[in-house]
Amino acid sequence: MRTIDWIDDAVVLIDQTLLPSELVHLRLSTVDELVDAIKRLAVRGAPALGVAGAMGVALAAASSSDPAVVRDLVHRLATARPTAVNLARGVDRAAAHLPSFPAVLAEALRVRDEEIHSSTEMARRGADLVTSLCGSSARLLTHCNTGALATVVGGTALAVAFELHRRGTLASVTASETRPLLQGARLTTWELARAGIPHRLSVDSAGPFLMARGEIDAVILGADRICANGDVVNKVGSYAHALGARAAGIPFICVAPESTVDLSTPTGADVEIEDRGPAEVVGTTAPPATPAVNPAFDVTPASLVTAIVTDTRIWYPTPPRPAHHAADSPRTA
């Protein structure tokens, strides 16, 4: 199952806002429709956004022969969401082939195929690393959603869990729910259940305590942008898990394709963090006029990151710390 693809002159993607209750595919044949899908997170996750952006340029190229019109559509695609570097990158790659529609589409399909290939590479390399750090019965905690839904097939961090499960060296995954849009609760649990992986759901704030209680061997998650100094920008809540992992003495592993590594951004402080407005936080719980802050992402400083696994390498942004011995902690889950 591909999360996103190009079929019969349109972008076809799973509407992630409807999961887990309904599995519905959207067929988007205009840039307006695709930008709307990106903004409301019908398609989401850094690699999937890169593919969506590239395919969107193909929609733009097909829709007009007026360069000014196409330029405006391309700009709207590239800026639909600001934080994941993959979106603007995918758009730029495809737009470099304008005005030729066949050349733009060919590049968009290359972006798609590269992400499919990257997922396999990250899974293998990440599984080797987790086993070397945690032994042959790893209990992982993950945040947000990094499975096929966030890529095209497979995933990033979750692809590592799938690979460990295939090898018989995964004990369990704790999915942190990921307030406020619940990508962990709605999407990660859905993917883990479909894969037959033992898992449980926790509220975000339980993560560091579960680590302190010795129930987690490693935190493994994705990224929306990895900066030149190794700072990891990812779904809000990642930083708290990194602090918990450091306090508990367990590895904090980021898994992301090279397409998410942005050497032109020096540090996390240089990244625009999307704020999605108060409504998602206030919801129906707080008094309606309550002011709220809603950063969709946070920055985990490189100093808290044990390793960054990409499709081509393992990057240790800070000098390795003494190895954690899983046997030091009581195994209660």
Question: Which residues here bind ligand MRU, judged by CB under 6 A?
Answer: 41, 44-47, 84, 144, 146, 150-151, 156, 183, 221-224, 234-235, 296
Q: Which of 204, 224, 231, 311 is catalytic?
A: 224
CB of 129 to ligand MRU, least distance (A): 17
Nearest to 95 by CA among 126, 119, 51, 60: 60
Q: Which residue is nearest to ligand MRU (CB)?
A: 222
Between 235 and 324, CB nearer to ligand MRU: 235
Give all strands (DSSP E) within the chain, no chain letters: 4-7, 10-14, 25-28, 138-143, 170-176, 199-202, 218-221, 225-227, 232-235, 252-255, 261-262, 297-300, 307-309, 314-315
Nearer to ligand MRU, 151 or 300 (CB): 151
How far is 139 from 141, CA to CA, in rounded Å?
7
Q: What angle do CA 237, 276, 44 make, to 5 degrees?
A: 70
Q: Which is nearer to ligand MRU, 222 or 317 (CB)?
A: 222
For residue 20, is the peptide bond before it cis, meaning its omega torsion is within 30 degrees of 0? yes
Of 163 and 224, which CB lies nearer to ligand MRU in the complex structure? 224
CB of 326 to ligand MRU, least distance (A): 25
Categorise residue 38: left if φ over 0, alpha if ψ from -120 to 50, beta otherwise.
alpha
Closest approach of Cβ 151 to ligand MRU, in Å?
6
Sheet with 297-300, side-by-side order of all strands? 261-262, 225-227, 232-235, 297-300
What is the distance between the alpha carbons of residues 204 and 241, in angstroms, rounded to a whole number? Answer: 8
DSSP string, 230-292: --EEEETTHHHHHHHHHHHT--EEEE--GGGEETTS-SGGGSPPPB--SHHHHTTTS-TT---
Q: What is the DSSP letter of 190?
A: H
Residue 235 Cβ vs ligand MRU, minimum distance, rounded to whole Å? 3
Q: Which is nearer to ligand MRU, 28 or 296 (CB)?
A: 296
Using the minimum distance from each CB to ligand MRU, give the nearer residue, 70 or 175.
175
Q: Is 224 a catalytic residue?
A: yes
CB of 281 to ligand MRU, least distance (A): 14
Shortest CB 63 distance to ligand MRU, Å: 25
Residues forming the active site: 224
